Amino acid sequence: MLKINEVTAYKIPAGTTETQITLQMLITDGFEKDKSKPRNRLPIIDSDGRGKYVLHRSTLDGFIVAAKDEKATPPVTEATLTLDKLMADPKCKNTMSKSFIPIAETSSLADAKDLLDKNPTCLDLLVSADGFATSVVTGWITNVIVLNEAIL
């Protein structure tokens, strides 16, 4: 498990809505926060520390490419597109609403693998003390971690 306070995650500031979070903020303060370690996945945590989404860079990039209109005034860019617009796209909303499964800290590697195997569209697990989506996230497990640990 990766401890959530030791990975790059985007924490939504208190009092901020998804209409105020630009995709550029998610890129700059999330995916590219540490330029030496670019990320392909970004856990998005609410202001209380609960998991909202795990955004995959491919989902973000696909949405941006489709949304950009070079003739639009003002131009559509990462700085004008917002998280709520991303969530309004049916394909992105479907992907992001199934982007993670909660799991308890006491769960085993077998439990994690079982959850991922039963949910092939989900590649991420957000860990909390009790395994509920309404609880504070303490860690993150990706399908890659499960695969690597299962092989060792």
Instruction: Give the integer Cα–Cα distance in Å for 94 and 77.
Output: 23
Which regions of 8-92 does DSSP assign to beta strands (E)? 10-11, 41-45, 51-56
Bridge partner residues of 53 (DSSP)? 44
Domain, as residue range, for 86: 2-151
Whether the pTM exceeds 0.85: the reply is yes
Number of folded domains that form the chain = 1
Instruction: Give the integer Cα–Cα distance in Å for 94 and 54.
Output: 12
From the number of C-beta atoms within 10 Å of its C-beta (0-12, 13-18, 19+), residue 80 rates as middle
Give the mean pLDDT of 90-112. Answer: 93
Residue 41 has pLDDT above 90, yes or no: yes
Instruction: Give the integer Cα–Cα distance in Å for 44 and 91.
Output: 18
The domain that holds 76 is classified in CATH as 3.10.580.10
